[in-house]
Amino acid sequence: MKKLIYLTTNPHKVEEANEFFSKKYGFNIEIVNPDFEIVEIQAETCGEVAAFSAKYAADKLGVAVLKSDSGLYIDALGGLPGPYNHYFDKQIGVEKFLELFKNEKNRKARLEHCFAYCEPNKDPIVFTGGGTGTIAYEARGTKGRWHDKFYIPDGETKTLSELREIDYEKEASYWGDAKDKFTKWFKEKYKDELK
């Protein structure tokens, strides 16, 4: 049976991959924490970052891999942090970020969620999704990444973190359809090997 190799060091992405690819679709998935640093380029979109990382890893490992990336694009910050989400979290964290943002009236934001699949010595294929929402005034919830605690999807009053605590499937829907696009493509491409 075809094995899906998903590269990540992020525990939240491990949970996401197990819930979606393994439990929901029954893929034979191997989540790999590589023993080398996967290069992440500076780019304007998460799709570019995921594509570069997937190609780098596939060529280095000699196997097809799946790599994901996500970003939060805030209108009032000219689109930052975007694909630099991790660095914002590491450098200033949730509380300091919200303190800096407390007097901002324009709280519109957009999530981008991308998956890049790449076979060795080939170009990566990128699947992109996302959604829109607003930035809360205070952190709420205990699950997920840093921005999950203050990002409220359009049509909701709860943060992604609070939604994940109540209903994983519903919370996952606010990340867009990149996972679904990839799954449909992967199932079609490898239909004979997934039986």
Distance, in Å, from the CA atom of 118 to the CA atom of 13, rounded to the nearest integer, reads 18
Distance, in Å, from the CA atom of 195 to the CA atom of 190, rounded to the nearest integer, reads 9
**Sign of the Cα pseudo-torsion (148, 30, 2, 53, in order):** positive
Distance, in Å, from the CA atom of 62 to the CA atom of 24, rounded to the nearest integer, reads 28
Residues 6 or more apart in contact with residue 63 via CB below 8 angstroms: 5, 120
Active site includes 69? yes
Strand 3-7, strand 28-32: pairing: parallel
- Residue 43 identity: A
Catalytic residue among 69, 75, 123, 167: 69
State whether residue 164 is helix, strand or coil: helix
Phi then psi for 171, rounded to 5 degrees?
A: -60, -40
Distance, in Å, from the CA atom of 156 to the CA atom of 193, rounded to the nearest integer, reads 40
Catalytic residue annotation: 69
